[in-house]
Amino acid sequence: DVKVTQSSRYLVKRTGEKVFLECVQDMDHENMFWYRQDPGLGLRLIYFSYDVKMKEKGDIPEGYSVSREKKERFSLILESASTNQTSMYLCASSLGGFAYNEQFFGPGTRLTVL
C-alpha cells in the first residue's frame, strides 16, 4: 500500500514563528504536492515538485516555500506564520511520467496559528 505520512496531525504555533510541515512517501513517487483545505474553498494547491530539488508554484504560493532534498520527503515552510494560514494542510504524491496518475494523500496536518 502507498503510504504518505505527515509529521503531525495537529500543530499550534504563534504568529511570526517559522513552521515546518514534513511529508514522507514510501512508494518512490516522483511527484509530491502540498494543498491547504479550508471550509467552502475546497483544496487549493500551494506547491508541487516533480523531482528532487524541483518545484513549481501552485495557485496560492504566497507566504509559503518548499524544500525537496530527497525523493521521499517534501517539506512545506511557513517563513513567518500568520493567522490566515490557520488551515488543514494535505500532502500528496503520485508517480511521474504520466500527468494523469492518481494522487495519494496523507492524513493532513491541522495547523492553528494564534
Residue 48 vs 64, nearer CB to other proteins: 48
- Chain centroid to CA 71: 14
**Least distance between other proteins and beta carbon 59 (Å):** 8
Strand ranges (E), 26-98: 31-38, 42-51, 54-57, 65-70, 73-78, 87-94
Instruction: Report whether 64 contacts 76 (CB < 8 A).
Output: yes
Residue 64 DSSP SS3: coil
Residue 82 vs 104, nearer CB to other proteins: 104
Residue 77 vs 95, nearer CB to other proteins: 95
**Least distance between other proteins and beta carbon 79 (Å):** 24
**Least distance between other proteins and beta carbon 42 (Å):** 4
**Least distance between other proteins and beta carbon 16 (Å):** 29
Residues that bind other proteins (CB under 8 A): 4, 31, 33, 35, 37, 40, 42-45, 48, 50, 56, 58-59, 90-92, 98-100, 102-108
- Burial category of 46 from C-beta neighbours within 10 Å (exposed 0-12, middle 13-18, buried 19 and up): buried
Residue 12 vs 15, nearer CB to other proteins: 12
